[in-house]
Amino acid sequence: MKNTSRWVLRIALVCLLLVAFMLAAGCSRHPNEKELKALEETKQAALAAETKAADCTKEKASLEQQLVDQNQKVDKMKLEKATVEKRLTDWQ
């Protein structure tokens, strides 16, 4: 019983501290020019990263398709090789 009440007290204290922190640091002031510039740079970096990720995804899909095509060619060549070897053994 004591253990449970201690946990409840600790959780309540943590919640109280979080609320106090959010009130103290949350909306007490407006962002300055430096913060706005940093936010804009962060947005630009995020957009660039998303664009690069999309490009990489497209490139990966293209490479995977090329791999499938090459594997199909290999399978076709193996079948052709087996056919030629069979003809060669039948001819001799």
DSSP letter assigned to residue 28: S
- Tens digits of residue pLDDT in 21-37: 666 665 556 778 888 89
Helices (H), 1-92: 2-25, 33-91
Token pair for 19: 């609320």
Q: What is the DSSP letter of 91?
A: H
Percent of the chain with pLDDT over 70: 84
More confident residue, 26 or 18: 18
Give the list of residues 6+ apart from residue 31 with CB closer than 8 angstroms, or none.
39
User: Residue 25's pLDDT is what?
Assistant: 60
Largest CA distance in the chain: 94
Question: What is the predicted pLDDT for the residue at 80?
Answer: 96
